[in-house]
Structure 1
């Protein structure tokens, strides 16, 4: 009887040790993800091979853009999970190019300070068709798409992208491409001056931004637009959690920068995880900027539960040595993971580097 009791105690202690080690590993694990865009014409077998390649290369999760098609997402989730990958439903939120329902409602779109609508006057590129975050019909449409993806079985999160305004300032390395100089806020890139936004702003502040001497320093007008995006995010958070999913988002490098460039203040959102796109080459920065921008975001989230996964732009890296350095810089500066843009850009050598870096990180934790 005593021996039986001792055996039971030993088994119980062993079980506690295993659970403790598992919990510790979950808390300290540094995850690796990749953004990909799905094609319904591809077969499940084809995707299974792709997902296996990612898993064998150290990738833990895939963020899949199905152009908000829940059926395609439902088809791909079990294929990915069978290969050991977690799946996030990646959605272009406020920027809805070729959205067949939205296109039936021209009044749903953002309007520039010049009075031109994204419906038929798109800034920078043809796929910039931004919906107004204030107008009830347009925001409800976006939230309904979020809900459709959140209901898909097996999805880890709904992953918001383009959850912001159009770029008031482009990344510096992109300016020559558009033959632009953006030393000040230019009216053709300053949104949203639609009737609904003006009316809502006037109700709160008893003035119109159209009468402002200088809208670039009108903090009430700026905050109105920051809060319009926050409101959409916070409602999306409720929808995701109602369906037992997380809410995550691809965002600009760190909050002050996102605020300045695209009216996005993500440190104030209700959200589980953010994936700041710290694409150093876009800003003519060196590789160490990955660490700087990661640390800034982590600092701005101090005291909040929101986690940071650093986004790394594969074509912007000069070598696999830089890839490894970017991963380590993200980890050293407080990120809980890294995600790569995008799947098509990941070479076999990249995946070998990711896997070896992942293994070295795990070894250092033991």
Structure 2
């Protein structure tokens, strides 16, 4: 009888502990959701992607940033080609105009990176054995780092850290944080005279020795031997996890320096997973800016709302903001207004515009009226 009593007490204790653990998890998710809900009350945020180089004068930058601020734009994502000194120069100019500054970096795709180019083994390798150090898929600026190899990861994370140390930067903004496109957006296929009805070897990455060795050690099989690698979910997940681990480590790096982590990502998680080995709803990240470039996919403006809603739903319970990204060169003023409405009505906390150079007066009038 005593043994039964002890067993009952033990089971009761385990049950109470499990309930408390589930309750704690639930409270954490509630807190995360509450934080994002609070952001919704703060107003609809407008971002713009733009660039910088050392040839321009300070007055030129000030004029650009003033134009943005006077027309309702809140934040600039600035590509300085990962130059912290240039970022340190332009950040106060933007801040003086009342803009929030984000350091935009091409992460896994590092075209013309002089340090990386000295190390051919750092680069991603296709299923047909070609390295992006020498053979670039689609376009010449596709030079992708392997997300598994220690040296290539540390190189990318070192660049992230350098940008995160710049005073008054709000976040480091990861772009090209993925592997090369296994599938291009359908609207771009004619441009490259391509048909992609299956995963083709020349666009399937990363089959470098380090990735193959690590996967084989974990799973006891070699992806180079697969008859149809697309059917092996462990191999696909391995690569998704490698990109996630780079993001999660970058998150720790930037937060140690008091900054946030943001990223430009593909339209919604399932689509990103399928097209570029990117499952961004699983990442440790403060905000995502999905590039919902509707014309790339032969879609209408209302698709911006659809993709926004997909992303918002997938992020439920996570403390990650979503701000929809749109492609300005294809848009009239009415298109932009409709895009803003679609994003806002489907749960986005803001909209990001690609890019600053494409903004015409008609676009700026829409943004100014919104504010």
- Superposition TM-score, scaled by structure 2 size: 0.89
Structure 2 SS opposite 1:156 = strand
Tell me the residue number matched to 1:19: none
CA contact (8 A) 1:280 1:316 kept: no
CA contact (8 A) 1:34 1:341 kept: yes
Instruction: Identify unmatched segments of 5+ residues in structure 1.
Output: 1-22, 360-366
Tell me the residue number matched to 2:26: none
Tell me the residue number matched to 2:364: 351
Tell me by how many angstroms 1:316 deviates: 2.0
Is residue 2:328 matched to residue 1:339?
Answer: no
Tell me the residue number matched to 1:212: 226
Alignment of 1:143-292 (within 5 A): 143-292=157-306
CA contact (8 A) 2:110 2:145 kept: yes
Is residue 2:62 matched to residue 1:62?
Answer: no
Q: Hey, what's the Cα distance between the residues in 2 that align with 1:117 and 1:197?
A: 13
Q: Which runs of 4+ in 1 moved over 2 A?
A: 23-28
CA contact (8 A) 1:94 1:142 kept: yes
Tell me the residue number matched to 2:320: 306
Tell me by how many angstroms 1:322 deviates: 1.0
1:297-337 Cα distance to aligned partner (Å, 9 max, x none): 000001111000100100122x2111001001101100011
Alignment of 1:95-110 (within 5 A): 95-110=109-124
Structure 2 SS opposite 1:71 = helix
Q: Hey, what's the Cα distance between the residues in 2 that align with 1:239 and 1:53?
A: 33
CA contact (8 A) 1:94 1:162 kept: yes
User: How many residue pairs get matched?
Assistant: 335
1:276-303 Cα distance to aligned partner (Å, 9 max, x none): 0000000000100000000000000011
CA contact (8 A) 2:39 2:349 kept: no
Is residue 2:76 matched to residue 1:72?
Answer: no
Structure 1 SS opposite 2:161 = helix
Tell me by how many angstroms 1:26 deviates: 7.8
Tell me the residue number matched to 2:137: 123
CA contact (8 A) 1:150 1:158 kept: yes
Tell me by how many angstroms 1:40 deviates: 1.1
Structure 1 SS opposite 2:160 = helix
Structure 1 SS opposite 2:198 = coil
Q: Hey, what's the Cα distance between the residues in 1 that align with 2:39 and 2:222?
A: 54
Tell me the residue number matched to 2:58: 44
1:140-166 Cα distance to aligned partner (Å, 9 max, x none): 000000000000000000000000000
CA contact (8 A) 2:326 2:353 kept: yes
Is residue 2:322 matched to residue 1:323?
Answer: no
Change (3 A) 1:129 1:309: same
Is residue 2:126 matched to residue 1:112?
Answer: yes
Q: Hey, what's the Cα distance between the residues in 2 that align with 1:325 and 1:275?
A: 18
Tell me by how many angstroms 1:213 deviates: 2.2
CA contact (8 A) 1:279 1:316 kept: no
Q: Hey, what's the Cα distance between the residues in 2 that align with 1:83 and 1:60?
A: 10
Q: Hey, what's the Cα distance between the residues in 2 that align with 1:55 and 1:287?
A: 26
CA contact (8 A) 2:301 2:335 kept: yes
Q: Hey, what's the Cα distance between the residues in 2 that align with 1:355 and 1:183?
A: 43
Q: Hey, what's the Cα distance between the residues in 2 that align with 1:316 and 1:181?
A: 24
